[in-house]
Amino acid sequence: MTQATYLWTPPATPSLPVRGQSARLPVNRIFCVGRNYHAHAVEMGKPVDKSAERPFYFTKSAQALVPSGATVAYPPQTKNYHFEMELVLVVGKPGFEVKAEDAHELIYGYACGLDMTRRDLQLAARDKGRPWDLGKDFEQSAVCGEVVPMPGVVIEQGAIALAVNGQAKQQSDVNKLIWNIREIVADLSLFYHLQPGDLIYTGTPEGVGAVVPGDRITGHVEGVGEVALTVGSAR
């Protein structure tokens, strides 16, 4: 087989460390669930009626991935840079039109993530019916900790929390997800052929807020692990 040659060196494959393994997990796509905790939906001014609505999604580029522990520059064109603490599901097997009762078969493991958001740009787009990309899919906006292998495990509960400079900001439980892990896998797989290395950010609880240069964000999900981020100066 002839090896492809490129005009310049291709970007490195986005990847994450895996607990207990030297091999890294190659990241394929990054899906994010919107408004998946009632109290957060309310604080965004958009309460969810599960009986009448379906989940919705946005995506981030895999190139937006940044490892836990990093210092990131305060991003451009925002005055309202927000944290969102999330449980991240890591897909390990392909699946399409997966039944909820079979959803566990796709699960490789979990990680703790931060869906960093330019809230002012997201809300301006939302309120004009425009795409959310500028608010959500920007450089270094998908923070993710190490992947914890938990093949076939469906997380149904566990504390999820985030602090800024040691001060608690978000405190909830994964059992408050509006659409749970099985339901998310089943629904998202109606729209996409899920693939190994796809990440699903499952949504954030209430208490989201702004950070400024110098702030240190720390978060954890019980039974999974931790994530951290330091906000640096704009550049």
Residues 6+ apart with CB under 8 A from 96: 189, 192, 193, 194
Minimum distance of Mn ion from residue 40's CB (angstroms): 8
Q: Could you tell me which stretch among 10-18, 39-47, 60-68, 79-87 binds Mn ion (CB under 5 A)?
A: 79-87
Q: Which of residues 194-213 bind Mn ion (CB under 5 A)?
A: 204
Binding mask of the shown chain, residues 83 to 122, with x at each position contacting Mn ion by CB under 5 A: -x------------------------------x-------
Helix (H) or strand (E) holding 110: strand 107-115
Give the span between the Cα atoms of 68 and 82, in whole angstroms.
Answer: 16
Of 104 and 123, which CB lies nearer to Mn ion in the complex structure?
Answer: 123
Nearest alpha-carbon partner for 43 in 175, 172, 155: 172
Minimum distance of Mn ion from residue 59's CB (angstroms): 12
Of 149 and 209, which CB lies nearer to Mn ion in the complex structure?
Answer: 209
Minimum distance of Mn ion from residue 118's CB (angstroms): 13
Minimum distance of Mn ion from residue 201's CB (angstroms): 6
> What are the angstrom distances between the C-alpha of 221 and each of 73, 83, 155?
25, 15, 11
Of 180 and 204, which CB lies nearer to Mn ion in the complex structure?
Answer: 204
Of 115 and 198, which CB lies nearer to Mn ion in the complex structure?
Answer: 115
Give the span between the Cα atoms of 101 and 84, in whole angstroms.
Answer: 29
Nearest alpha-carbon partner for 36 in 12, 22, 53, 11: 53
Minimum distance of Mn ion from residue 86's CB (angstroms): 6
Minimum distance of Mn ion from residue 204's CB (angstroms): 5
Instruction: Please count the residues of this chain forming the interface with Mn ion, following the rule CB under 5 A.
Output: 3
Of 18 and 174, which CB lies nearer to Mn ion in the complex structure?
Answer: 174
Of 136 and 182, which CB lies nearer to Mn ion in the complex structure?
Answer: 136
Which tokens go with 168?
């608690």
Give the span between the Cα atoms of 56 and 33, in whole angstroms.
Answer: 6
Q: Beta strand pairing status for 65-67 and 142-144?
A: parallel
Binding mask of the shown chain, residues 133 to 172, with x at each position contacting Mn ion by CB under 5 A: ----------------------------------------
Is the Cβ–Cβ distance between 193 and 21 less than 8 Å?
no
Minimum distance of Mn ion from residue 208's CB (angstroms): 8
Half-sphere exposure in the Cβ direction for 28 (13 Å, CA): 15
- Which residues sit at the interface with Mn ion, rule CB under 5 A? 84, 115, 204
